[in-house]
A and B are shown apart, each in its own frame.
Chain A
Amino acid sequence: MVDAGLLDATVQGLITGSIIAGGALGLSLIYNIAEVPNFAHGDMITIGAYLALVFNNPGEIPFLPAFGSAPLVAAAVVGVVLAGVLGATYELTIFRKFRKRDADIITMVIVSLGLALVLRNVVLFLVGSKNIRYQSASVSNTNFDFLVTGGGMTVTTTQRQAGEVVTTGQWGYPWWLLVGGLLVAAAVGYGVYRAYRREEGFDTVYLVPPKILGFTVAAATVIGLGAFVQLAPQGTDPIVATRIGLSIKHLTIIGVVLAAMFVLNVALKTTKLGRAMRATADNMDLAEVRGVDADRVQLLVWVIASMLAALAGVLTGWFATNLTPNMGFTLLLPIFAAVILGGISSPYGAVAGAMIIGVSMDVSVYLLPSHFATYRVAVAFLILIAVLMVKPEGLWGDV
């Protein structure tokens, strides 16, 4: 039996971080472009999760007939689209009016607080406070045991099937492959970085910053080599051993959030509207002078952010296996911490902040005595406060 260790806590932290990142992406857009520190964002996450529930599991909602259940993916798509419509409603009925009155940031905070109160209680009013689940196929964890032995590394995968722990695979990497693979990955990553980097200029806009691209390619090389070059096991007598528990669910969550980040990034950097959004974020008056329709940009921001929030909501509900009217609000603090930590100006910053928050939450729970498990959010906050004391504008801040 191999114990889950620091590595597992880190991986769990990345998954937690992905869920936080889903919310942080949308919040950073609203914070940066609409200049609303949106305290309703947590409840927009809740709304999104329940919108998908309407199509996935309508029998659980008191006033709805059980009209059958759509698969979670389809329900999520419909829910996300509907959330976008709601986002337009918030902008048109509330935030646009306040912006026309030049409301200051404090007023916006309190307006969003009022909206949060309304949204949470609408869910409570319609659905009640009981815990509800999505109808989805149950996914079983696969445990990857990594055993570092004298000859290299052995990987054993086990899975619980019908109550029995079954070994589903065993393979290994000798030392030369481990070292060589890492070197190759580092070389490939650095090569991509060098090839992609251009002369820094006034108008240099990278679709993906070279450092991030190089690092991603290196990581992908390691994972690719590990997945495809599986040699004979290198013994089962470990010097060091650790276990990581993963499932398709976890990978899907990470994948969906990274994809959302990438799509948002491409949209912001290559489309005309995206450029208009970035210009508005920079200086709304100047953007308007150059012919940017600020109202349209703000509308779009709220729609996109609501859709991202709904996506995060569905992922949270699916990951935590139940939905409660408070699910979003409990996520709000880590999301804010992530956005401020990453600096409110870029989607990459938000995701990086979310990953830092997520990993530090789960790793600290692993490192601290079990009594401290309830202080996960506190850890996120202590990090935020510590960073703000040193750098009041956030790690990649713009202020």
Chain B
Amino acid sequence: MAVADFLITLVTFIAIYSLFGIGLNLKFGFTGLIDFGHVAYFMVGAYVTVVLTLPADAPTYGGIGGFDLPGLFAALGPLGSLFGWVLGVLGGMIAAALVSLAVGVPTLRLREDYLAITALGIATILNTVVKDEDWLFNGPYGISGVHKPLVDVFPISLGSFTVNMAVFGLLSVAIFGYVAYWLVNRFRDAGRTGRILMVASVGLVSVWYFVMPVVDGGGTVELTKNVLWLFDPTAGPNGGLDYDRFVLLLSLGFLAGGYHWVERTINSPYGRVLRAIREDEDVPQALGKETFQYKMQALMFGSALAGAAGALWAVNIGFVSPDQFASTITFFAFTAVIIGGTANNKGVILGTAVFWAIRNGTRFIDVPSQYSIQLAAARLILIGVILMVILYYRPEGLLGEQDYDIDLPTSLRGGSDDV
């Protein structure tokens, strides 16, 4: 597998799990709710979206629905069916928010540690329900043949091979250029250790990505593939932008939307109340805020984002089954949030990237196949150790809590809650 293909899979993963993590960050980082059942909303979002977009007579599916929203709007062309899918995603997000409403009413009044445990329990129960009730969502067999939006349109070809290569190649190079520009800016702002770390990590990654394929004997073909990563020469007669790359762009788009939405929320006066609840619930209560409603809304909002991530996950994998939504996914998201920086949305993306790079990047280590269990276990041991080490030496995470737009009374510029 080409390195570029691996990277596309990895970044798609990171984008989806970052969206999931941002939802968790809103609950855990900004409002202080330890929702150990976050994965349940991921599951609800994925299943509801899939069922809403599944054709009515899907083979090997015996659950409720097959509501075929994209088919309903198919007369309007590909954009119509895309609209149907977006409606499905909205349905999934609303369903996730409603489920979290039902969960939140009894549990949000509990002590924080009891909340963690009951949320974990409810997520496990919901997973069991989906797994055991065949009539609901096809039970343990899962749903295959997930509707993939616009799949018929791809690969997009703009004309001849050269045109495709030039356009998509230029786009790819432009994106690399932007990343380089961003990195240089970061480098200027960073302190001494930050600079050393950046040089080391960027250097290693570039050697791995740009130099290794040449040295390995893949020659210029591999190198071209890596540099012009948006362009897939094997897709269609003239090459072009294939579907995997589209899913990557779609996920990044959703991530950008979710990020923006959460940023706007937490930088508003509303978000300030959420942060006040995290610090000390009695204070906003004394100021006349109905904290229970705020907590409930944060829970529903975060769950809706998890639901959107679930919809993307279903498109990316093309198959959903209850086993994909074990509680470990929640714990991974917590780890990612804590590594990157609790209450920091950029940190969530960084943490998720670090987490999944460790988890999936280690597949390049060659081990005999009978030791694959050992490799998987060793990865998770490493992640557990990193989690504890970060919590001890840098409890605020790699990036620390983010700055907010709203001035605090004591400072002239935007400040952190830590002041």
Partners in one complex: yes
For window 375-397 of chain B, which residues contact chain A by CB distance below 8 Å?
376-378, 380-381, 383-385, 387-388, 391-392, 395
Contact of B374 among A37, A114, A125, A384 (CB under 8 A): A125
**Closest B residue to A104 using CB positions:** B112
- A110 touching B338, Cβ below 8 Å: yes
Contact of B385 among A105, A118, A128 (CB under 8 A): A118
**Closest B residue to A107 using CB positions:** B391
- B128 touching A378, Cβ below 8 Å: yes
Q: A37-B117, A392-B110 are in contact. Are A121 and B381 (CB under 8 A)?
A: yes
Contact flags (1/0) for A320-362 with B, using CB distance below 8 Å? 0000000000000100110010000000000000000000000
- What are the residues of chain A within 8 A of B125 when measuring CB–CB? 375, 377-378, 381-382
Q: Report which residue of B34, B117, B125 has the largest number of chain A beta carbons within 10 angstroms of its beta carbon.
A: B117
Instruction: Give the shortest distance, in Å, between A111 (CB) and chain B (any CB).
Output: 6
- A109 touching B374, Cβ below 8 Å: no
Contact flags (1/0) for A357-399 with B, using CB distance below 8 Å? 0000000000000010011011001101100110010000001
Contact of A110 among B117, B122, B334 (CB under 8 A): B334
Alpha-carbon distance between A121 and B385 when the two chains are bound, in angstroms? 11
Residues of B near any A CB (own CB < 8 A): 32, 34, 106-107, 109-114, 116-118, 120-122, 124-125, 128-129, 131-132, 331, 334-335, 338, 373-374, 376-378, 380-381, 383-385, 387-388, 391-392, 395
Alpha-carbon distance between A73 and B388 when the two chains are bound, in angstroms? 35
Contact of B380 among A121, A371, A392 (CB under 8 A): A121
- A114 touching B392, Cβ below 8 Å: no
Alpha-carbon distance between A33 and B374 when the two chains are bound, in angstroms? 36
Instruction: Give the shortest distance, in Å, between B342 (CB) and chain A (any CB).
Output: 10
- What are the residues of chain A within 8 A of B122 when measuring CB–CB? 381, 385
Q: A29: CB under 8 A from chain B?
A: no
Q: A106-B34, A125-B381, A384-B118 are in contact. Are A114 and B128 (CB under 8 A)?
A: no
Alpha-carbon distance between A115 and B121 when the two chains are bound, in angstroms? 20
Taking chain A's interface residues, is the majority helix, strand, or loop, or is none over half, making it mixed?
helix
Contact of B388 among A114, A120, A122, A388 (CB under 8 A): A114
- A377 touching B110, Cβ below 8 Å: no
- What are the residues of chain B within 8 A of A120 when measuring CB–CB? 380
Contact of A117 among B32, B384, B391, B395 (CB under 8 A): B384
30 contacts between A and B (CB under 8 A): A37-B113, A37-B117, A101-B392, A106-B34, A106-B112, A106-B113, A107-B395, A109-B34, A109-B116, A111-B388, A114-B385, A114-B391, A117-B384, A118-B380, A120-B380, A121-B380, A124-B374, A125-B374, A333-B121, A337-B117, A337-B121, A374-B128, A374-B131, A375-B132, A377-B121, A377-B128, A381-B118, A385-B107, A388-B118, A399-B111
